[in-house]
Amino acid sequence: MNKILVPVDGSQHALKALRIACDLAGKYDGQVLLLHVLDTQKSSLDLLELDCAHGFTQALRETLEQATGSQKHPVPMNVLKSAGNEILAQAEKRCRHQGIAVSSLTLETGDPVETILMAYKRTAASTIVMGCRGSGAAGDPSFGSVSRAVFERADCTCISVK
């Protein structure tokens, strides 16, 4: 369990997954690899409602609030990248606070499943730990669809956190 890939999106489930990944890395002398996939369909309101949004810089929060007021959708790419960098920075800080070796991969765009799988292969991660938001209704086939698709195709230990 040397390299643990943790896709983070700022949600509560991703934060829980990060805690578990840090525990595993600490116990098994591993390293956490952080990944954030930019979601070009997110609205500024979606970003402001993330569990990690309270840690965004004041300038980013103000930019997102202005975009919300003007109903800009989707969020401009530069703002989306700023939010992604903040999410990665907060996750990295949490790891370092626990004394865990951590590195952030570059921000990625594209299909989340394919992007996570490419990062897994590129980094030779031995484990993937990710949150499962289950944004679909109970019984809906989209329930946990990203984590389910990643776990079906990855040839490593996979842990889903809800």
Six-digit token pair at 126? 């031995």
E strand map for 19-100: 31-35, 37-38
pLDDT, tens digit, 9 for 90 and up, residues 114-125: 999 999 999 999
Mean pLDDT, range 62-70, rounded to an integer: 81
Task: Tell me what pLDDT residue 142 has.
Answer: 44
pTM: 0.89
Q: Are 16 and 161 in contact (CB under 8 A)?
A: yes
To the question of domain 3-161 being in CATH 3.40.50.620, the answer is yes
Task: Tell me what pLDDT residue 144 has.
Answer: 65
H or E segment to which residue 46 belongs: helix 44-48
The helix/strand/coil state of 33 is strand
Q: Is residue 101's pLDDT more than 70?
A: yes
The domain spans of the chain are 3-161
